[in-house]
Copies of this chain bind each other. A is one copy, B any other.
């Protein structure tokens, strides 16, 4: 069973190499995913500072047919491309067409991913989920006029989600390298369902959901000096969080983890091309 290997690797019992040399390990991939949870929770808390600010998403607002958020993300991705962001295979843009060339010298990121698989993107699904499903859950209704800051906060959320979900490529690669014999038959027969089953670990997913919920509680609390000493105590329902922890749990349950596995399946289906 692949699951046993996963938990062995995750607990650091075996290593396949040094990530800086392109030899990723399940432990290094898991650490990156855990660190990215913090970034996602921070970005959601920061977005929740502003109300929904509907004009940001209204295609008629700017008079150009493009919503302010789309304009803002497109222009930002163009700037980030000039600064070399998309040389890093961890970064997947929402609007990849016509991005300018980097002004910075090429960076030698280790070639970890299979070249054909590297192009997998679920950005459109992330974009729609974020704007239609997630935003109404983390913001209050209203309009405070801070549209630029709102769009900038959206950009941070979208980039954090894109990076996390497309990290599924690295997850898939390390799982494949770890047990090619487990995945090869399903890849050969293009059996996406079988791959999805091989990539699903209920127990791990439960843990991730619990952890991100807890992060939303810890990072979203109002830190005051009334607490005694250096001890922070809180219980469910007692503290007011800046983003509802159950929404962050649901974000991972309904969207982040399923989309990550979709990326993993799509990646593996091309892995032997």
Chain A residues packing against B (C-beta within 8 Å): 35, 38-39, 42, 45-46, 49, 55, 61-62, 68, 71-72, 75-76, 79-85, 87-88, 91, 103-104, 107-109, 145-149, 151-152, 156, 207, 210-211, 214-215, 217-219, 221, 223-225, 230-236, 242
Contacts and interface: CB of A to CB of B under 8 A. Distances in A.
Contacts of A147: 83-84, 104, 107
Provide the main secondary structure of the chain A interface: helix
B210 A88 contact: no
Given A72-B79, A79-B76, A211 B223 contact: yes
Contacts of A91: 149
A88 B148 CA distance: 10
A236 to B, nearest CB: 6
A149 B162 CA distance: 14
A236 B230 contact: yes
A148 B84 contact: yes
Given A62-B104, A75-B79, A230 B221 contact: no
B76 A49 contact: no
20 contacts: A35-B49, A38-B45, A42-B46, A61-B104, A62-B104, A68-B83, A81-B148, A83-B151, A84-B145, A85-B148, A85-B152, A156-B156, A207-B225, A211-B225, A214-B223, A218-B218, A218-B219, A219-B223, A232-B234, A233-B233
Contacts of A218: 218-219, 221, 223, 232
Contacts of A145: 84, 87-88, 107-109
Given A72-B83, A79-B76, A211 B224 contact: yes
A79 B46 CA distance: 20
Nearest to A107: B145
B231 A85 contact: no
- Indicate the member of A83, A84, A211, A236 with the most B CB atoms within 10 Å: A83
Contacts of A103: 62, 71
Contacts of A156: 156
A234 B231 CA distance: 6
A83 B62 CA distance: 10
Contacts of A230: 214, 217, 234-236
B148 A83 contact: yes
A139 B227 CA distance: 30
Give me the 9 closest cross-chain CB pairs, A-B, nearest first. Answer: A85-B148, A83-B148, A107-B145, A42-B42, A80-B148, A215-B223, A75-B79, A84-B148, A218-B223
